[in-house]
Chain A
Amino acid sequence: MSDTLLEIKDLKVHFPIRNDSLFGGVENYVKAVDGVSFHIEKGETLGLVGESGSGKTTIGRSILRAIEPTGGKVTFNVDDESIDLSQLSDKEMRKFRKHLQLIFQDPYSSLNPRMTVRDIIAEPLVAQKLAKGKEVDERVQEAAALCKLNVEFLRRFPHAFSGGQRQRIGIARALVSNPQFIVCDESVSALDVSIQAEILNLLMDLQEKLGFTYLFIAHDLSVVAHISKRVAVMYLGQFVELAPTKSLFHAPKHPYTEALMSAIPEVNPDIAMTPVELKGEIPSPINPPSGCRFHTRCTYTQDICKIKEPVWKEVEPGHFASCHFVDTLNLQGVEMSSPAKSPLTGKN
């Protein structure tokens, strides 16, 4: 496919657990990501949700090879070329990194307090030797302008800025090298709602203007739903469902997705929350449960779930899920009231 930017096949990231002996023999593995396949189209936003410990961040970082994947293939299509990122040497990877960027969660710890804003934004250009002399300043100013940062700000240090401004500095740094693909790892989670709205709008505007492709990782489902075209749901290192946003939220096919949806606090006080109960906590990824990994917490568990691993299949065009009862279960999605009924629109 020509419009696919990134194709991920059977991605695995296993972290070894070493024992206490002097030579630290490997006892076991934490299977943070265990066989995940998906693709991302050019210019789209793929949302990735799941509880903490499900491996969301590890996926994002292993695509960028900030964490080395243990297995699988990551194919990146750029300039009519298909490149397998997992096969690149460190040196080749370094060159390639200008196409890939990451926006972090915490705008307070992701900016070096000793560097001026100009130096922070210029860092990718300098490190990759993408520009020299005057050109660096020009590109920094251009990036800053795109992120609505005042030129005055460039001489200052990060401590002088609020959370929202810092996050905009982080975004400017990510886009200065003119990347194709940006991983946003909980990029708005630490911000207040009003600032969050501003950053989400900015990310969407930039996508429209510059054609970025995002992998948007967050635990806040409504934020993910807002920005993403398609959403993937992750549980214990594997995808359980992947679908276009509306169909995932309206008509989930996996019981875990249903449970997640039902836990979103409803802003309308007239609608009481009725969360589907998830028993216990997410199991350890060292020894994931047999069969379907979700069976220990699922309300619909049957015997087969404990023994056989469900297959990842396309239920409807573009809607994937892995559950034995995908065709028989009638799961509840989020009710989408018509905008006219909502008390919050059209009123001033």
Chain B
Amino acid sequence: MEQSKKSTQDNLLEVKNLKISFKTDEGIVTAVDGIDFSVRQGQTLGIVGESGSGKSVSTWSIMRLLPKNSIIDENSSIQFQRKSGKTVEITKLKTKSKELREIRGGEVALIFQEPMSSFSPVYTIGNQIMEAVLQHRDVTDQEAEEIAVDMLDRVGISNPRQRFKQYPFELSGGMRQRAMIAVALSMNPSLLIADEPTTSLDVTIQAQILELMNELQKDLGMSIIFITHNLGVIAQVADEIEVMYLGKILERGTTKEIINQPKHPYTKALIKAIPRLDHLGERLTAIQGDIPSPLSRPVGCPFYTRCDDVISGVCDVKMPEPTHLSDTHTVYCFLHEEKDV
């Protein structure tokens, strides 16, 4: 996990000032509010946050998979380095352009949370992997089938030839999630977005899937964005962690920095809220209140309404500037701002 080199050349993906809103009947809802992040070649970026924090929206925009009523702000920038070495500005692509279609699935792949509903029930597993392969590679049906069977084998599915002919309902949850990974990886993407990929699985299966993803990442050298609300999972897979709340990034750092030395009150609260086996019987610290509605976003730091360390007259006035605690560790909080100087 050495991350001393920090040149922008290593960055596969660079997102700047990303702002995404949705037009709804109640007005314009801002889901992601001016965030920056980058993903390095071969690294795993973990994004944590509660539901409604904008984790999924911010990453789905990399594939431009947002619904029609979404607006990506014109000053936003998503720079993606293609396999050819060329860098493209994803926000400027037309949604039906050939280039975007090549990138979707071909270079950026997505695994969803719900392995039950992410497959079509009326096609066989094999059929659905082949479909993806045929879309992106110049191969015959025969070759596509070989690739699909090989991929099923690689993700640890026994009897891949037989599974190839089965329908999604015939596989268990863990199997289906493996098959999903097989679809995503069959095109050898350079970036994999895993959106809560193990949330609905049993711990034993979850451990297997995490190990599988680690192995495949080593073999194929891809980068991963791993979205989850389980801090235990993220501590095990991520190199870097970003903590999101209500469309903003509140803290960012290496996994060790975030988990062992959390600085933002929200990160601290999240970590304290996890029941831990080494602290049995202690009372958990819940975060008071609920996430505010994105329709009435608080002015200033989005977390101030629930924060124990709120400084009135400061936190509720403007969003704090980033404070760099180390090369990799950045926090957005007034409590730490003065130490910057």
User: What's the count of A-B pairs with C-beta under 8 Å?
Assistant: 145
A339-B279, A348-B268 as given contacts; A263 in contact with B261, CB under 8 Å? no
Q: Evaluate contact between A343 and B261: CB separation under 8 angstroms.
A: yes
Sample of 20 further A-B pairs with CB below 8 A, known A162-B290, A219-B203, A269-B255: A51-B202, A163-B51, A192-B50, A192-B51, A194-B273, A197-B273, A221-B277, A222-B274, A222-B275, A225-B277, A226-B284, A265-B235, A266-B232, A267-B231, A267-B274, A269-B235, A269-B260, A275-B211, A281-B174, A344-B272
Query: A245 contacts the other chain (Cβ, under 8 Å)?
Result: yes
Q: Chain B contacts of A344 at CB under 8 A?
A: 271-272, 276
**Pick the contact of B203 from A260, A267, A280, A348 — CB < 8 Å?**
A260
Using an 8 Å CB-CB cutoff, how does the interface string of A307-348 with B read, 1 for contact, 0 for none?
A: 000000000000000000000000000111101001111001
- Determine how close the nearest CB of chain A comes to the CB of B4; give it in whole angstroms: 18
Query: A259 contacts the other chain (Cβ, under 8 Å)?
Result: yes
Q: Which of B235, B269, B270, B286 has the most CB atoms of chain A within a 10 A radius of its CB?
A: B286
Q: How far is the CA of A326 from the CA of B275 in the complex (A)?
A: 29
Secondary structure class of chain B's binding surface, majority of residues: helix
Query: B291 contacts the other chain (Cβ, under 8 Å)?
Result: yes
**Interface residues in chain A, defined as those with a beta carbon under 8 Å from any beta carbon in chain B:** 51-52, 162-165, 192-198, 200-201, 204, 219-223, 225-227, 245-246, 249, 259-260, 262-270, 272-273, 275, 278, 280-282, 334-337, 339, 342-345, 348
Q: Which of B202, B270, B271 has the most CB atoms of chain A within a 10 A radius of its CB?
A: B202
Using an 8 Å CB-CB cutoff, how does the interface string of B188-207 with A read, 1 for contact, 0 for none?
A: 00000000000000111111
A193-B270, A339-B279 as given contacts; A280 in contact with B231, CB under 8 Å? no
Query: B307 contacts the other chain (Cβ, under 8 Å)?
Result: no
Q: How far is the CA of A310 from the CA of B277 in the complex (A)?
A: 29
A221-B203, A260-B203, A275-B207 as given contacts; A165 in contact with B290, CB under 8 Å? yes
Q: Evaluate contact between B272 and A264: CB separation under 8 angstroms.
A: no
Q: Chain A contacts of B203 at CB under 8 A?
A: 219-221, 260, 263-265
Secondary structure class of chain A's binding surface, majority of residues: loop
Query: B285 contacts the other chain (Cβ, under 8 Å)?
Result: yes
Q: Evaluate contact between A265 and B272: CB separation under 8 angstroms.
A: no
Query: B124 contacts the other chain (Cβ, under 8 Å)?
Result: no
Q: Which of A194, A198, A227 has the most CB atoms of chain B within a 10 A radius of its CB?
A: A194
- Determine how close the nearest CB of chain A comes to the CB of B247; give it in whole angstroms: 16
A265-B236, A281-B174, A281-B175 as given contacts; A225 in contact with B280, CB under 8 Å? yes
Q: Evaluate contact between A194 and B207: CB separation under 8 angstroms.
A: no
Q: Chain B contacts of A223 at CB under 8 A?
A: 275
**Pick the contact of B173 from A52, A163, A227 — CB < 8 Å?**
A52
Q: Which of A193, A260, A268 has the most CB atoms of chain B within a 10 A radius of its CB?
A: A193
Query: B256 contacts the other chain (Cβ, under 8 Å)?
Result: yes
Query: B259 contacts the other chain (Cβ, under 8 Å)?
Result: yes
